[in-house]
C-alpha cells in the first residue's frame, strides 16, 4: 500500500506481469524524443541496399523473484535509429524469430513525438506481420546480398530468446564475415551471445556500449522492474571477452570494426546518425 501511495509499485498488466511504476515512467520515459530530424546532405539513392531489423516477439521476462516484467522492443531505441536509416536512403526489412508479431513496450511510447508516431504508423503492418528470421537464415545469407546492415534494438525483451537463437547466430556470423554493419543498443548487445562461429564467440576482444548492470540493480527500488534481473548481462558479456566502455546509462556510442553500439535509450539518436553515416560510407 505504501509503495502504491508513493507511486513506486510496479503496475499490474492483464496477463499477470508488471509494467513500470508511475514514478519510474516519469523518471525514465518522455512524451517526446531528441530526434534531430535525420537530414543527410548526400543520402543513398540507389534503391538497392537494405537493413535487416531483428525484433523480439517475446513479451514477459521472469525476474529473479519469479515476477514477470512486461517488456519487448523499446520504441525509442527502435524508432530513432530506423528513422535515421530511412532518412539516409536505406530500406528496412523487419523480422522476428518465427514471424510472430513484434512485442513493443507501449508504456515507453513517446506519444507526442510526430516523427516516431509516423514511423510506427508506417511500419504497423510489418510489426504485426513481420518476416521470419528463420526463413532469412535459410534463404538470404547470400554473397550478392542487398543487406548492408543488421539492426537489433534494445528493451529488456532483446534478452528473451534472441541471445540463444541459432538463426540469429547464423545471421550475425554471416554479417560479421562480410563486414556488414551490426547495430544494437542498451540491452540489445546481449543478442551478440548468439554468435558463436565454429564454437568460438566471434566478438571476443570487441569493445561495446551497454546498459550497465549497476543501473539494472537500482531500478527495482523505484518500481521500474518488479524484481532483480535474472542474470547480469554485462557480466556475462565480459566473460565472453567483451569490454564495456561506459559506466552510466547515457548517450555513449561506440564503433569497433563493424559493430556499432549504444548505452541506453538516451543514445538512440546518436546511434542512429552514427549507423546511417557508417552505412553511407560503406556503400560508397
Give me the CATH topology for the region 48-283.
Rossmann fold (3.40.50)
What is the side-by-side strand order in the sheet with 131-132?
Answer: 131-132, 91-96, 50-54, 147-152, 181-185, 259-262, 253-256
Enter the C-alpha cell of residue 55: 525484433
Q: How far apart are CA 195 and CA 211, in angstroms?
A: 20
All three cell numbers of 147: 543487406
- Answer whether 157's CB lies under 8 Å from 56's CB: yes
How far apart CA 161 and CA 146 sit, in angstroms, is: 27
Q: What is the pTM of this model?
A: 0.96
Q: How far apart are CA 213 and CA 120, in angstroms?
A: 30
Q: What angle do CA 27, 33, 38 make, to 5 degrees?
A: 155
CA–CA separation, 163 and 171 (whole Å): 12
Per-domain boundaries in the chain:
48-283
Cα separation values, 200 from 197, 235, 238, 270, Å: 5, 18, 15, 31
β-strand 131-132 against 147-152: which pairing, if any? unpaired
Comparing CA positions, the residue from 261, 230, 250 lying closest to residue 153 is 261
Tens-of-pLDDT digits for all 284 residues of the chain?
Answer: 546 545 689 999 999 999 999 999 999 999 999 999 999 999 999 889 999 999 999 999 999 999 999 999 999 999 999 999 999 999 999 999 999 999 999 999 999 999 999 999 999 999 999 999 999 999 999 999 999 999 999 999 999 999 999 999 999 999 999 999 999 999 999 999 999 866 799 999 999 999 999 999 999 999 999 999 999 999 999 999 999 999 999 999 999 999 999 999 999 999 999 999 999 999 98
Nearest to 56 by CA among 204, 201, 220, 184: 184
Using CA atoms, how far residue 232 sits from 67, 104, 237, 247, in Å, is 17, 23, 9, 14
The answer to whether residues 234 and 198 touch, using CB atoms and an 8 Å cutoff, is no
Phi (first) and psi of residue 167, to 5 degrees:
-65, -40
- Catalytic residues, by residue number, are 186
Amino acid at each position: 500500500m505504501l509503495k502504491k501511495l508513493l507511486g513506486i509499485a510496479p503496475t499490474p498488466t492483464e496477463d499477470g506481469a508488471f509494467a513500470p511504476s508511475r514514478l519510474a515512467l516519469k523518471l525514465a520515459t518522455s512524451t517526446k524524443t531528441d530526434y534531430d530530424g535525420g537530414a543527410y546532405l548526400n543520402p543513398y539513392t540507389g534503391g538497392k541496399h537494405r537493413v535487416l531489423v531483428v525484433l523480439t516477439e517475446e513479451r514477459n521476462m521472469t525476474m529473479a523473484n519469479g515476477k514477470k516484467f512486461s517488456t519487448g522492443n523499446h520504441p525509442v531505441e527502435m524508432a530513432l535509429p530506423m528513422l535515421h536509416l530511412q532518412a539516409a536512403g536505406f530500406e528496412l526489412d523487419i523480422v522476428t524469430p518465427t514471424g510472430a508479431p513484434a512485442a513493443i513496450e507501449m508504456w515507453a511510447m513517446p506519444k507526442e513525438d510526430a516523427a516516431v508516431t509516423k514511423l510506427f504508423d508506417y511500419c504497423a503492418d510489418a510489426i504485426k506481420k513481420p518476416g521470419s528470421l528463420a526463413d532469412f537464415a535459410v534463404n538470404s545469407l547470400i554473397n550478392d546480398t542487398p543487406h548492408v546492415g543488421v539492426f537489433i534494438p534494445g528493451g529488456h525483451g532483446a534478452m528473451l530468446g534472441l541471445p540463444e537463437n541459432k538463426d540469429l547466430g547464423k545471421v550475425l556470423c554471416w554479417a560479421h564475415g562480410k563486414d556488414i554493419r551490426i547495430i544494437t543498443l542498451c540491452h540489445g548487445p546481449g543478442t551478440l551471445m548468439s554468435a558463436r562461429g565454429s564454437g568460438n564467440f566471434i566478438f571476443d576482444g570487441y569493445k561495446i556500449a551497454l546498459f550497465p548492470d549497476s543501473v539494472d540493480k537500482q531500478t527495482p527500488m523505484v518500481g521500474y522492474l518488479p524484481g532483480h534481473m535474472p542474470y547480469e548481462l554485462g557480466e556475462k558479456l565480459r566473460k565472453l571477452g567483451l569490454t564495456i566502455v561506459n559506466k552510466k546509462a547515457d548517450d555513449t556510442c561506440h564503433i569497433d570494426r563493424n559493430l556499432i553500439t549504444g548505452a541506453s535509450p538516451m543514445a538512440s539518436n546518436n546511434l542512429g546518425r552514427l549507423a546511417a553515416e557508417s552505412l553511407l560510407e560503406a556503400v560508397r
